[in-house]
Amino acid sequence: MLGKYVVDEMKMEKTKIENILKELTRDFCYWIQRQEKNFYKKTRWSSDYINSTISEVKRMYSEVGIRDGHITRGYEPQIDLMKKPPSTQVKRDILSVDEYERLVTYIRTNKCLRPDGSSPLDQTKRSLFKE
């Protein structure tokens, strides 16, 4: 993907990667955001997807390029992560009172604690989990 960015956006396809100024690749995240999607075309690329792509590109440079001597440390591209506003969404699902009561009631039943074919070890684990 970074190769396509260098060729299409920066027009530096004949330049060696080590000769590209490392500061020129900082806008890579915005270029990814402008790319057309093959599916779900009405939605934009998520900042999580963009940041994971950038992390993989950086990892590629450190684990292959620098390790194998294709590029010298310090000359790898500088790629900024996509800034995103803090999420107000709850990270975990929270049970309602009714859902909690139903779950606790089920956990305390023999159907949950001693299902058919379960081993004594499994039943003990379930009992400990119940408590």
For the chain, give the percent of residues with pLDDT over 70. 97
Let me know the angle formed at the C-alpha of 51 by 17 and 39, rounded to the nearest 5 degrees.
100
Question: What is the pLDDT, as a whole number, of residue 90?
Answer: 67
Residue 103 pLDDT class (50, 70, 90 cuts): confident
Q: d(Cα 57, Cα 73) in Å, to the nearest integer?
A: 15
Question: What is the pLDDT, as a whole number, of residue 71?
Answer: 81
Residue 98 pLDDT class (50, 70, 90 cuts): very high
Residue 125 pLDDT class (50, 70, 90 cuts): confident
Q: Count of residues for the chain?
A: 131
Overall pTM > 0.75: no
Q: Would you say residue 126 has pLDDT above 70?
A: yes
Kindly report, residue by residue over 47-93, the tens digit of the pLDDT: 888 899 899 988 888 888 888 887 888 878 888 888 877 777 766 77
- What is the average pLDDT score of the chain? 83
Handedness of CA 66, 70, 76, 80 (dihedral sign): negative
Summarize the confidence of residues 111-123 as an average pLDDT: 84
Backbone angles phi, psi at 12, to 5 degrees: -125, 40
